[in-house]
Amino acid sequence: MFNLNIKENKVFALPVLILFIVFLVSVVFLKPKLSEILEIRRDIKSEKNNLATLTQKLATLDGLAQVELNEKAFLTLNALPIEKDVAKNLFILKQLVQDSGLGLSNITIGNVGDISTASAQTKIEKGEVLPALVFSISVSGQMAEIGDFISRVNLTLPIMRINQIYLSNKKGDIPEITLDINSYFLPLPKTLSKVEDLVAVISPQEEKIFEKLTELKAFDLQEGFYYSGGQKDNPFVY
């Protein structure tokens, strides 16, 4: 028969007690702490990645020369206004016609109904990359002068392109020509990037575009010639 001799088994009390303590501490303290450690490690890894991104972003932002950046932004704003700027385009087209020695007969704004603030939706015509304000301009003059006008349009800011040419050259008459001109614009980006997102980097290809823009002529609109009212304030102050 099994006989439990407490006196004899007393020697096992200490190991059993220690085992019990080990078990108890493992369940109550060690296991939750190990789980917590794994979780904290995951969090720290993710936070360190986040920190690396922020450090890189900060370094990029610190490296950007604000004055140069503003100048570039101003030039691109001249190339692509944030909204349809009828007054400015009319002034420029009129000026270009005069400079080419042509006679101006008529200017029609094609999509006048769509003139709106930057917040309004803009439509991009089929085959186009950018939204455009369409002008139809009738001029009279010699072919060489018309050619000169077209060259000037292509070399002027904002970016304009000729889509169609209607010729009316009766015998003996001074040629009269009607040109459909697209003047491009681009609304402001709808959202800015999140703090965690990296700064948009200008690629070498895009730098070349900037160089191209510096070669184009920007009109210096003097007071009285150009008025742009009733529009939202430009958030980019130069």
Partner 1 sequence: MAEQEIDFLSEQQSKTGKKAKIVHFLKVGSIIVLILYCLLTAAVFSYWFYLNTQGRKTQQEISIKKQKIESLKDVESVQTFLKQRLAALDKFFTNQAKTDLPEILDFFENIKDEARLKQVNLTKEGEITISGEADNALVLTDFLKKLEEEDQSKKLFSTITLVSSDKQKTGNYLFSILLEVKGKQ
H helical segments located in the chain? 6-9, 13-25, 31-63, 66-79, 86-100, 143-154, 204-214
Q: Which of residues 5-64 bind partner 1 (CB under 8 A)?
A: 11-12, 14-15, 18, 21-22, 25, 29-30, 33-34, 36-37, 40-41, 43-44, 47-48, 50-51, 54-55, 57-58, 61-62, 64
**DSSP letters for 66-79:** HHHHHHHHHHHHHH
- 69 or 120, CB closer to partner 1? 69
Asked whether the CA dihedral 98, 102, 104, 109 is positive or negative, the reply is negative
**Binding status of residue 206 toward partner 1 by CB under 8 A:** yes
Give whichever of 92 and 177 is closer to partner 1, judged by the CB atom.
177
Count of residues that bind partner 1 according to CB under 8 A: 82
**Residue 4 vs 222, nearer CB to partner 1:** 4
Q: How far apart are CA 187 and CA 121, in angstroms?
A: 9
**C-alpha to C-alpha distances, 197 to 52, 89, 97, 174, 187, nearest whole angstrom:** 11, 37, 47, 59, 22
Q: Which residue lies nearer to partner 1 by CB, 61 or 87? A: 61
Please report whether residue 77 would count as binding partner 1 according to CB under 8 A.
Answer: yes
> What binding mask, one character per residue, do residues 108-147 give for partner 1 by CB under 8 A, x or -?
-------------------xxxx------------xx-xx
Which DSSP category does 30 fall into?
Answer: I
